[in-house]
């Protein structure tokens, strides 16, 4: 690596937590030409002064990766753009995000993927597009998956929708295997869920709102387990919300099925009781569930059943959300509260996992799932780095969000732990 040139930076004196390399120690991280380098190569041959980032008292982690965000472009730029979504990511400590294909038009063709990638060049963090499994997310015909791979997708999913036809889903999984392409699935059985808008239970019964039973998610998780077994190929289940899904995943993984799952912060932070004021910032899909589900999700994160954390960042305009509860769109913002909520809930309060484990779930694990050479501070890796102050107590202020939207239920929440500086390819793109 002696031919490394370019800008030289040292992140000095922080507690480096790099789970991929089993590192948890105070040391300096050297960056040159946008990549992590060893200290001795950074200093040779010439003796120019490096940029010094003082990380004393902070945690230095690989740049956080969120494999589940909605950046709303093309077509819904009043909610969010790739640029504003990327700034929200940076403000949350994320250096890489994976955007979902339920845009307008949906990301189901190489032309749209190339358009997104072109827009992403101006974004301050890495933006990796997914492609649709089916044309128009309609669940009827396969999208041109191979052409989208050539255009640069990192996974396929019909997120926001769910392929109901099991044979079609099977063929998608088999077809994707030839590209070693991850398949993600939003798990929702349409006939069971119907017009459900909140978790089916006491609160939906009391409020008279149509219920979304947990079994509607579990059924598709089980379907995916069976298809992963049948095809011998991996399937990743997005935003798991209920105890049954964790149990099915745990059982299947124990017998070697290539199935994985992710969990979002709101499903750990809130129960369905929050809906009792009909505030649509508590409406998301899948819905907020019961305390037993929260406990099970925490348990699944603690015992390694759940290997990835994500936000399901879903911006919506105030005018779209300020309507009758059953008519409001599903989804809330995530990127700018994600790390704080996970750290506060999982590490500080519940002590379900420690900080190195949390970082693993937000860096190397999603990177491996996506086959990205990121999520580590190994020499030679892209210099994506997040500086974290795990002791910082802060208040969520939606008015100060970088996102174009404001639809969060967490305004005013006091959290402990926050990213304070975000470095992408050696350049600081955001700091507190």
- Identify the three-state secondary structure at position 418: strand
Output phi, psi for 48, to 5 deg: -65, 155
Identity of the residue, 323 or 432, whose beta carbon is nearer to other proteins in the bound complex: 323
- Give every CB contact of residue 121 below 8 A, 6+ residues apart in sequence: none
Query: Judged by CB under 8 A, does residue 292 bind other proteins?
Result: no
Smallest distance, other proteins to C-beta of residue 106, A: 24
Smallest distance, other proteins to C-beta of residue 284, A: 16
Count how many Cα atoms sit within 13 Å of the Cα of residue 101 in the half-sphere of its side chain.
35
CB 383 within 8 A of CB 36: yes
CA distance 34 to 46: 18
User: Which one of residues 140, 322, 354, 373 is an interface residue with other proteins (CB under 8 A)?
Assistant: 322
Tell me whether residue 312 is one of the annotated catalytic residues. Answer: yes
* Range 327-366, binding other proteins (CB under 8 A): 327
The residue count for binding other proteins (CB under 8 A) is 16
CA pseudo-torsion sign 306, 310, 311, 314 = negative
Query: Judged by CB under 8 A, does residue 206 bind other proteins?
Result: yes
Question: What is the token pair recorded at 316?
Answer: 């919506």
- Name the segment binding other proteins (CB under 8 A); options: 18-26, 49-57, 200-208, 421-429: 200-208
Identity of the residue, 226 or 317, whose beta carbon is nearer to other proteins in the bound complex: 317
Smallest distance, other proteins to C-beta of residue 198, A: 10
Distance of CA 50 to the CA centre of its chain: 33
CA distance 54 to 11: 6
CB 240 within 8 A of CB 306: yes
Count how many Cα atoms sit within 13 Å of the Cα of residue 41 in the half-sphere of its side chain.
18
Query: Judged by CB under 8 A, does residue 273 bind other proteins?
Result: no
Smallest distance, other proteins to C-beta of residue 329, A: 13
Question: What is the token pair recorded at 83?
Answer: 């640029």
CA dihedral 67, 71, 74, 77 (to 10 degrees): 180
* Range 208-267, binding other proteins (CB under 8 A): 208-209
User: Which one of residues 6, 57, 277, 304 is an interface residue with other proteins (CB under 8 A)?
Assistant: 277
Window 60-99: contact mask with other proteins (x via CB under 8 A) = ----------------------------------------
Smallest distance, other proteins to C-beta of residue 261, A: 27
Query: Judged by CB under 8 A, does residue 190 bind other proteins?
Result: no
- The residue annotated as part of the active site, out of 18, 185, 293, 312, is 312
Smallest distance, other proteins to C-beta of residue 289, A: 14
User: Which one of residues 114, 207, 274, 302 is an interface residue with other proteins (CB under 8 A)?
Assistant: 207
CA pseudo-torsion sign 60, 24, 352, 294 = positive
Binding site for other proteins (CB under 8 A): 201-202, 205-209, 277-278, 319, 322-327
């Amino acid at each position: 690596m002696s031919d490394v040139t370019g800008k030289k930076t040292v992140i000095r004196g922080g507690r480096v937590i790099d789970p991929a390399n089993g590192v948890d120690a105070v040391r300096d991280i050297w960056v040159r030409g946008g990549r992590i380098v060893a200290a001795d190569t950074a200093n040779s041959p010439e003796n120019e002064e490096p940029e010094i980032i003082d990380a004393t008292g902070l945690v230095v982690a690989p740049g956080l990766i969120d494999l589940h965000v909605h950046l709303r472009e093309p077509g819904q730029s009043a909610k969010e753009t790739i640029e504003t979504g990327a700034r929200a990511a940076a403000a949350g400590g994320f250096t890489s995000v994976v955007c979902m294909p339920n845009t307008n038009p949906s990301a189901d063709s190489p032309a749209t993927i190339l358009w997104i990638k072109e827009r992403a060049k101006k974004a301050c963090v890495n933006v990796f597009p997914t492609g649709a499994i089916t044309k128009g997310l309609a669940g009827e015909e396969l999208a041109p998956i191979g052409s989208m791979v050539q255009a640069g997708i990192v996974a396929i999913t019909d997120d926001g929708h769910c392929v109901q036809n099991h044979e079609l889903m099977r063929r998608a999984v088999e077809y994707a295997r030839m590209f070693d392409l991850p398949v993600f699935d939003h798990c929702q059985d349409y006939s069971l869920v119907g017009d459900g808008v909140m978790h089916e239970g006491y609160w939906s019964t009391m409020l008279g709102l149509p219920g979304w039973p947990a079994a509607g998610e579990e059924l598709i998780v089980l379907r995916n387990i069976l298809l992963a077994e049948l095809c011998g190929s991996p399937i990743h289940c997005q935003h798991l919300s209920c105890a049954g899904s964790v149990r099915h995943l745990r059982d299947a993984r124990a017998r070697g099925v290539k199935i994985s799952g992710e969990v979002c912060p709101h499903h750990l932070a809130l129960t369905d009781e929050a809906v009792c004021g009909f505030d649509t910032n508590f409406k998301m899909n899948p819905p907020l569930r019961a305390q037993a589900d929260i406990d099970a999700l925490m348990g699944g994160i603690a015992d390694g059943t759940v290997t990835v954390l994500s936000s399901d960042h879903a911006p919506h305009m105030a005018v779209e959300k300020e309507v009758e509860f059953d008519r409001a769109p599903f989804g809330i913002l995530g990127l700018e509260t994600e790390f704080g909520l996970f750290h506060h809930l999982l590490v500080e309060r519940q002590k379900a996992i420690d900080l190195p484990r949390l970082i693993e779930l937000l860096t190397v694990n999603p990177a491996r799932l996506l086959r990205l050479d990121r999520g580590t501070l190994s020499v030679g890796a892209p210099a994506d780095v997040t500086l974290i102050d795990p002791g910082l107590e802060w208040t969520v202020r939606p008015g100060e969000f970088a996102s174009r939207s404001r639809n969060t239920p967490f305004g005013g929440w006091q959290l402990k732990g926050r990213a304070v500086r975000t470095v992408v390819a050696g350049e600081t793109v955001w700091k507190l």
